[in-house]
Structure 1
Amino acid sequence: MSTATIQNPPPMPVLRDSFIELTARERARALLDAGTFRELLGPFDRIESPWLPLQGIVCQADDGAVIARGTIDGQPAVVAAIESAFQGGSIGEVSGSKIAAALELALRDCERGKIVRPVVLFETGGVRLQEANLGLAVIAEMQAAIVALRRYVPVVGVIAGMVGCFGGMSLAAGLCSYLIATKQGRLGMNGPEVIEQEAGIEELDSSDRRRVWQMIGGEQRAATGLADALVDDDTHAVQAAVRDVFARGVPAAHRTEQVAEYLERLARIDPANVTPETMRDVFKANEAATPRKEQ
């Protein structure tokens, strides 16, 4: 009895380590050099929201925000990761204060000549409605810290999915020196459900997932230059992208400093013919890399 041999066996499938499926704590740990993860104000410190129990909502001991210190490529770093599984990643007084304070401490180190690399992992629908005014206040503090920090070091944001990044936190993301996104990620000021609720289904059908991702998905945001790197949902790919953008240095001009250029692009848009394709035509990513300042 002869044994048949397979001359050209089919290639083995490439197994990916999903970044999206990780918890906020696991994501923060994954981006830091092995063995350097150290959490600040973790669950055992029990810094909880004082407002949620008043409305019958069970708290989470870290309020849905993980702050970790460690190193990235041997350089001091701080990672702020938002947990989408708690209140949709919404920002309240405690979670927002943790992120703002972490950025402010990094700023203080940078001002003293000790550069700390800041990374924010956005996974949030924006401000927590139960703590609206307090949440808005701390988001403003985050934004101020990002603007101050980016004079010294690139501030890197990551939008992986599936919640995306909306509301006031989308403005914080827009202030980052670099944004990294997956195809599953989304970025916008208002979420699809909010647009449909306020403007009607004729304006946007939030159940049309294909249309939603065509408009505000990670691939579209990268194609229109509002994200700087598009990566697969793979932990190693995200790690590499974060290290790559830090290696680029501080941009010579951040997106938020290019007001005249963006106003000129907006003037070229026909409001009667706004499609994903026309947006790419007007807001296409620069073909050449933007010049960088030395750190």
Structure 2
Amino acid sequence: MSTAANPQPAVHAAPLLRDSFIELPARERARALLDAGSFRELLGPFDRIESPWLPLQGIVCQADDGCVIARGTIDGEPAVVAAIESAFQGGSIGEVSGSKIAAALEMALRDCERGKRVRPVVLFETGGVRLQEANLGLAVIAEIQAAIVALRRHVPVVGVVAGMVGCFGGMSLAAALCSYLLVTKQGRLGMNGPEVIEQEAGIEELDASDRRRVWQLIGGEQRVATALADRLVDDDANAVRAAVHAAFVQGVPAAHRSEQVDTFLSLLAQVDPASVTPQNMRELYRSGIHGAANKEQP
């Protein structure tokens, strides 16, 4: 007990050093990346552009179909941010949500073709195609991929995989097409998620409950170390914003990842599927990517 003769020191809560980006919903993630006061949402919840297919299967819709499209500015330059909401259907891509992303990128492309550069950012937080709208979802993911490839000829397309859902399925291919892909340690990136791998190949192949192993194989840190992502960013809204801004300052890369097919195929040819470890994959990609870069230098 504190007394006048023996006062106890006051206890103060430690100040929060970081503003978690992962904990933000999609709308606030988009707002965090845009210049203060410039956020303007397109086709928001009050427009009620929602899936016509989910009610037929007894699933309650979300008024924005789990996708936020925001216009604004980044460093004073026009920008568009497409943010996927993981809290709705695991961030799955259906006809409406996918069409919103594709249309936003296509609008940015038209502006760029007219000489008005628009900075595009996609916040990937998705398990891939929405199974209830499989064919429609796959078709619109193809449209997203085509729009990214067309747009990146004019301006960098920046993708962010923050966590905790990660980025899987067809949308992992869309992420790979981005000019720059930013990830956190908590983010995961892969064609198939660990639960799908365990279900289809057995727990001997991968125990989806072994979180340490999963992140060693497909976590953000590993993806950067194996050249499948470009920059590791702390889970901090200011850090993510700074990394996005820096990517646009870099400009369009000399060669996108998808334009380095021969390099990646030569690396894959050296992989022994029976003895894959996170460390030997890092060593393989480090030597292969650096070796290819050195050969290109005059």
CA shift for structure 1 position 284: 2.5
Residue identity (%): 82
Q: TM-score, normalised by structure 2?
A: 0.92
Q: Deviations for 1:58-96, whole angstroms, at most 9, x for unmatched residues?
A: 000000000000000001000000000000000000000
Report the equivalent of 1:226: 228
Report the equivalent of 1:293: none
Number of residue equivalences: 286
C-alpha distance in 2, partners of 1:96/1:136? Answer: 9
Structure 1: where are the runs of 5+ without partners? 7-11, 291-295
C-alpha distance in 2, partners of 1:88/1:111? Answer: 34
Report the equivalent of 2:194: 192
For residue 153 of structure 2, give the secondary structure of its aligned residue in structure 1. coil
Q: Deviations for 1:132-161, whole angstroms, at most 9, x for unmatched residues?
A: 000000000000000000000000000000
The partner residue of 2:171 within 169, 177, 192 is 169
The partner residue of 1:53 within 48, 52, 55 is 55
C-alpha distance in 2, partners of 1:41/1:140? Answer: 21
For residue 283 of structure 1, give the secondary structure of its aligned residue in structure 2. helix
Alpha carbon RMSD of aligned pairs, Å? 2.1
Report the equivalent of 2:240: 238
C-alpha distance in 1, partners of 2:33/2:196? Answer: 32
For residue 41 of structure 2, give the secondary structure of its aligned residue in structure 1. strand
Report the equivalent of 1:280: 282
CA shift for structure 1 position 13: 6.1
Pairing of 1:26-37 with structure 2 (within 5 A): 26-37=28-39
Report the equivalent of 2:82: 80
For residue 272 of structure 1, give the secondary structure of its aligned residue in structure 2. helix
Pairing of 1:114-263 with structure 2 (within 5 A): 114-263=116-265
Q: TM-score, normalised by structure 1?
A: 0.93
Structure 2: where are the runs of 5+ without partners? 294-298
For residue 119 of structure 1, give the secondary structure of its aligned residue in structure 2. strand
CA shift for structure 1 position 266: 1.0
Q: Deviations for 1:113-147, whole angstroms, at most 9, x for unmatched residues?
A: 11100000000000000000000000000000000
Q: Deviations for 1:154-180, whole angstroms, at most 9, x for unmatched residues?
A: 000000000000000000000000000
Q: Deviations for 1:218-262, whole angstroms, at most 9, x for unmatched residues?
A: 000011111111011100000000001111000110010001111
CA shift for structure 1 position 269: 1.4
C-alpha distance in 2, partners of 1:170/1:207? Answer: 21
Pairing of 1:1-40 with structure 2 (within 5 A): 15-40=17-42
